[in-house]
Amino acid sequence: MADINIGSAKEKLASKGFLDIAVSPELDLFFEIEKLKKEKNAVILAHYYQESDIQDVADFLGDSLALAQAAAKTTADLIVFAGVHFMAETAKILNPDKKVVLPDLKAGCSLADSAPGYLFKEFKEKYPDHLVISYINCSAEVKALSDIICTSSNAEKIIQSVPAGQKIIFAPDRNLGAYLMKKTGRDMVLWNGACMVHEIFSLEKITKLKIRHPKAKLIAHPECEEPILRIADFIGSTTGLLNYTKTDDSSEYIVATETGILHQMQLASPGKTFIPAPPDNNCACNDCPHMKLNTLEKLYLCMKYEQPELLMDLDLMVAARKPIERMLQLS
């Protein structure tokens, strides 16, 4: 039935963003995905914020920096990127001759969307003497307008590598930028963007949660707002948070980042308790709706039919590659 429907599903890719084909519940997707990896010489790169089943079938699991490094080194013919659109773009930029597919083309990013390329170009022109450091959570257009790309793992190191007298624009995350200004002492011009996931945490609810769990440490991603970071016991990138929980001697943690990372935290430290920090809404946890558009079924279908494929303009890839390579060199 799936093969009969593939033509119709491909026609609807542009509107739906994924192959809308029914997958039999009797199909062992874990087995089928492993078989497809071997048949197609494919590699699955997945972000920590993906659902746990996708994390479990990934060949490489990591944060944005680690995924960019893995994409740059892969020898696979087919790159299956389980993450959001800008991450797949980065993999394609680093591998222009390889096919890059992703489960759902509409898995976007609120932070990347907050900095449209044409507006950022106008913003940059106001500060002609400034060097542009852009967080990797941005579009290829913004990357192409940047001098260096960074991630939350290496941003402080990259900023410190810039001569003290050099003025800097930091984009697109204002919360991460403000945190880095405090950490480095550099006065940077910030683009006014933010991540919907990390801005939604409730200081009041977290404070109440800390009262109920007095032994729990609050650990937070630097994309969170300043009031949350002010009371955090530890601030770090996604990988930094995971590594901290592995080595720290506490038994309980309130985790202020996307809940997907809790799966890896629990696997690494089964005897510890991990509590998702409560958002300022009626949900029980804090999920990224874009990351969670990807499912194991969509992953299987995109591997089987090699669609949706990420296609990019060659000139844009060339321009965006330079600041990414600068980051990888500095990292």
**Residues 27-57: tens digit of each pLDDT:** 999 999 999 999 999 999 999 999 999 999 9
**What per-residue confidence (pLDDT) applies to 13?**
83
Does residue 97 contact residue 312 with C-beta atoms inside 8 Å?
no
**What per-residue confidence (pLDDT) applies to 282?**
59
Show the CA angle centred on residue 264, arms to residues 224 and 302, nearest 5°: 95
Q: How far apart are CA 266 and CA 245, in angstroms?
A: 10
**Residues 111-166: tens digit of each pLDDT:** 899 999 999 999 999 999 999 999 999 999 999 999 999 998 899 999 999 999 99
Q: How far apart are CA 154 and CA 183, in angstroms?
A: 13
Q: How far apart are CA 114 and CA 88, in angstroms?
A: 18
Helix (H) or strand (E) holding 324: helix 314-330
Alpha-carbon torsion, ordered 88, 90, 93, 98, to 10 deg:
-40
SS3 state of residue 159: helix
**Residues 271-328: tens digit of each pLDDT:** 999 999 987 765 555 778 888 999 999 999 999 999 999 999 999 999 999 999 999 8
**What per-residue confidence (pLDDT) applies to 2?**
47
Q: How far apart are CA 169 and CA 131, in angstroms?
A: 6
**Residues 60-72: tens digit of each pLDDT:** 999 887 888 898 8
Handedness of CA 23, 28, 29, 32 (dihedral sign): negative
Exposure letters 235-245 (e unless 16+ CB within 10 A, then b) = bbbbbbbbebb
pLDDT of 1 above 50? no
Q: How far apart are CA 307 and CA 210, in angstroms?
A: 45
Show the CA angle centred on residue 188, arms to residues 116 and 321, nearest 5°: 50
**Residues 194-240: tens digit of each pLDDT:** 888 787 788 898 999 999 999 999 999 999 999 999 999 999 999 99
pTM for this one? 0.86
